[in-house]
Amino acid sequence: MAGLSMLSGLKARTLLLLLGIALTGTMAGAAHAGGVLKPGTAVERILEVDGKRLPLPEGRWVVAGDGDSGWDDPRMGAYGYLRSLVLFRIVENKLDAVLELNTNVLPATDGWGMAANCARTDLVLAVSRYRAGWDGSCFFVTHTLANKDENPVWAKARSFAATQGWKIPGVLVTAGFRAANRSDVIDARFHFVPETRGLPAEIAGRWKDSGWMSSKLDESRDRSAFAQGVSNWAVGYAGVVDAALKGRVDGTVAIPMPDPTRKSATDDSIARHMAALELMRQSGQISQKEFEAQSETLLENGTGSSSTAPDLSVITAVKAFSYRVIVSVSHIFVDYYWTGSYVATGALEVLQITINSAKFYMHELGWAKLMGVPRTDAARIVDFRYLGSNV
């Protein structure tokens, strides 16, 4: 009887444990469901998603879709799922811009990599701000053909737009951003509607046939000016996305929209840096005094090198030189001991320095490039499911 009593008690505790787990899962699911933004929800200044706070450009943004993107990559480990949101910026009851946001629900363990577009050379602009191990930040400017919806959230967004009478044009000007570290990622793409800025509508069957191709922008002064304005804006907003990933967001700061009237300067890189400084000054990230000091330095010295990392061949040469100094000193005594002649010792030293230094340099350089440990700034490429096509 005592055994039966113990068995019954064990069953009861097991049932209670299973019930508790089920209730916990139900509550967690309800909490997550409560975090999903419903279509029609208005958002201004800050968009809060899964613990991340992304500052939005000025204006009223309306949620059009929120949910699982359907994207999956076994390399990411247990990250839950990739959450996608689509927001519309509405001006005078017309679609002015679209925000396409992708972010992780659970932290990953092996990083999120960089977007493929950040490494392309056929776009209006493609910049890698930094890449170091798991950490990376980049942005790009191009155009998008809104001709397909691989992401189910986009299908919902299109349906919502149709019910509101908002038309999504076939070609959009896009500024894309990626900020990632070992555990989290913010992947944001802003699509701007050219028609609301006085530019003609366009129908293109293929991405490369569009007049927004970087190689064709010079054919239209208006398109070129708007693409330049978006590029200048993107330079500054990339820092905002990076700060959002690091939790350094000031919700009181207003983020301006791109200026379509901004003209190109003679030195494009300096113009973009000046635009970035201006955006940071307007948003309060730097003071007026800091803005003036940095602007003066920029105009006097230019942008300088985009990278401070020494070249691999330079590192190898320095290693070869430092090694030969130590070895040559020791060889002097050994050579003189065996030859007993200063002339013979000197000749041997010259031969050893010339031949062995070249062998050491080639061996080290070949090993580092072909067989060595990969450089920590070579982040992998990871793309999600996006609106339309950029190729």
CB 123 within 8 A of CB 117: yes
Each as own residue / partner, the long-range contacts of residues 74-81 (CB below 8 Å, 24 or more positions apart, any chain) are 75/110, 75/382, 76/108, 76/110, 76/112, 76/382, 77/108, 77/109, 77/110, 78/106, 78/108, 78/109, 79/104, 79/105, 79/106, 79/107, 79/108, 80/104, 80/105, 80/106, 81/105
> How many CA atoms lie less than 13 Å away from 351 in the CB half-sphere?
7
CB 64 within 8 A of CB 39: yes
pLDDT reported for residue 271:
59
pLDDT reported for residue 311:
56
CB 349 within 8 A of CB 328: yes
What is the helix, strand, coil percentage profile of the chain, to 5? 45, 20, 30
pLDDT reported for residue 88:
98
pLDDT reported for residue 163:
97
Give the C-alpha separation, 331 to 341, whole Å.
14
Give the C-alpha separation, 244 to 286, whole Å.
16
List, for the chain, all residue ranges whose pLDDT scores fall below the cut of 70: 1-34, 77-78, 260-275, 278-279, 282-283, 296, 298-316, 368-379
pLDDT reported for residue 35:
83
Stretch (H or E) spanning 212? none
Give the C-alpha separation, 184 to 293, whole Å.
34
pLDDT reported for residue 370:
65
Residue recorded with tokens 């919806």:
149
Please give the model's pTM, rounded to 2 decimal places: 0.67
pLDDT reported for residue 27:
32
pLDDT reported for residue 292:
77
pLDDT reported for residue 187:
98
pLDDT reported for residue 97:
98
What's the token pair of residue 320?
A: 């070869």
Residue of 89, 152, 169, 80 lying closest to 386 (CA atoms): 152
Torsion angle (degrees, nearest 10) of CA 28, 29, 30, 36: 110
Give the C-alpha separation, 273 to 381, whole Å.
26
